[in-house]
Amino acid sequence: MQVACTWEAIAKALQDVTPRQAAAGFEIQVAAGTLPQSDQRDTLSELGHLDWKRNVLVVPRDGWGSVTMSGEARLRRLHRVTFARFNGDFVALTDCSGSNWAQSKLAHGLRIYAQELDVRDCNVYEAVVERADIGDQDPFVYAANGSGSLGECLWEGCYSAPVYRRLGSRAHLDTFQMFGRAPYRGLTLRDTVLFGSHNAALQLGGTVPGDPGLGTPFLTLENTLLTSQRVAAATRYPMPAGAEAPTLDQAINGAGEPHQLHASDSLVAGTMYTTKWGEVENSYVSSERSTQTNTAQSGSWTFRADLADMTADDLDQLAPRPSDSYLAQVWR
């Protein structure tokens, strides 16, 4: 189905999808143009159904780069819907189980929230924040900030540049932050690159009292690269004028749930907060002290001094910069 480039047209198309259409595979193609920021609290809300057999796909009709979202896109209670190849500023998915956001270049980031509902299987594939900035907001967030819990979500193929703290600011900046008043866990970062913001690349937070998921995986790193802001500045994102130099060389902060943190085929260029890991396989860290303070039940972190001294060329070999031309090739 082809629709006009408006949020209203997308909402109407999703409202009209039948369970039979969803089960057969249904695609909504949005005409080229700009989706304006909505003046409502939610850009889209109460659409899709958890009992659909397959996700409904919403994509630009003319491919990646043909539809841009203006301002914030706030999606609430969208179930079994996948948005792919929309570019824009910022996206928030709140209480959206079974939904995905994919292949999207964003200026300021993406957040998954559990607020009033328990959220599961809300996934992000290849979300890219390519430009470093001076700011006061974390690019990626995974949070249970209401009464609903959050778990069993995958972020795959994602990339974020650092956020630098403005001189005189007291902002606590992490490139990817996990937090919540309600239980949150079950996050997998796969094939993902996060350059450290002023505090860290990845903030784990910790467990919440009464979490029924205690003893199940809190965080899993798979083939993922995390750097401190010092490494980010030295290799790809020079510190801009007006930014405060980082005082920490921290890539991971927060304890998560000890023994429920897992890593395989991953690299950490920077230090790690002291905690205990479950299984660690073929994974390396540039801080020798972190190998001693972050022991694992199975396997171990291995010290690699060269990670702290990577050059721009070294980094290009590990993680090519996702320029528009690069993305046009992989998302065509």
Task: Please tell me the predicted confidence (pLDDT) of residue 332.
Answer: 84
Distance of CA 318 to the CA centre of its chain: 19
Question: For residue range 139-155, what is the model confidence (pLDDT) as tens digits?
Answer: 999 999 999 999 999 99
Question: For residue range 265-285, what is the model confidence (pLDDT) as tens digits?
Answer: 999 999 999 999 999 999 999
Average pLDDT (197-215) is: 97
Mean pLDDT, the chain, whole residue set: 97
Give the whole-angstrom CA distance, residue 266 versus residue 221. Answer: 7
Q: Fill in the amino acid letter for 35.
A: L
The C-alpha torsion from 156 through 251 and 86 to 121, rounded to 10°, is 40
Task: Please tell me the predicted confidence (pLDDT) of residue 74.
Answer: 98
Question: For residue range 19-58, what is the model confidence (pLDDT) as tens digits?
Answer: 999 999 999 999 999 999 998 999 999 999 999 999 999 9
Residue 238's nearest CA partner among 157, 326, 318, 134 is 134
CB 79 within 8 A of CB 108: no
8 contacts: CB under 8 Å, gap ≥ 6? none
Residue 194's nearest CA partner among 248, 254, 236, 239 is 236
Average pLDDT (60-72) is: 97
Residue 17's nearest CA partner among 79, 64, 84 is 79
Residue 47's nearest CA partner among 80, 78, 16 is 78
Instruction: Reply yes or no on whether the pLDDT at 329 is more than 90.
Output: yes
Average pLDDT (276-305) is: 98
Question: For residue range 154-169, what is the model confidence (pLDDT) as tens digits?
Answer: 999 999 999 999 999 9
Largest CA distance in the chain: 57
Question: For residue range 92-117, what is the model confidence (pLDDT) as tens digits?
Answer: 999 999 999 999 999 999 999 999 99
Paired residues of 188 in beta bridges: 154, 220
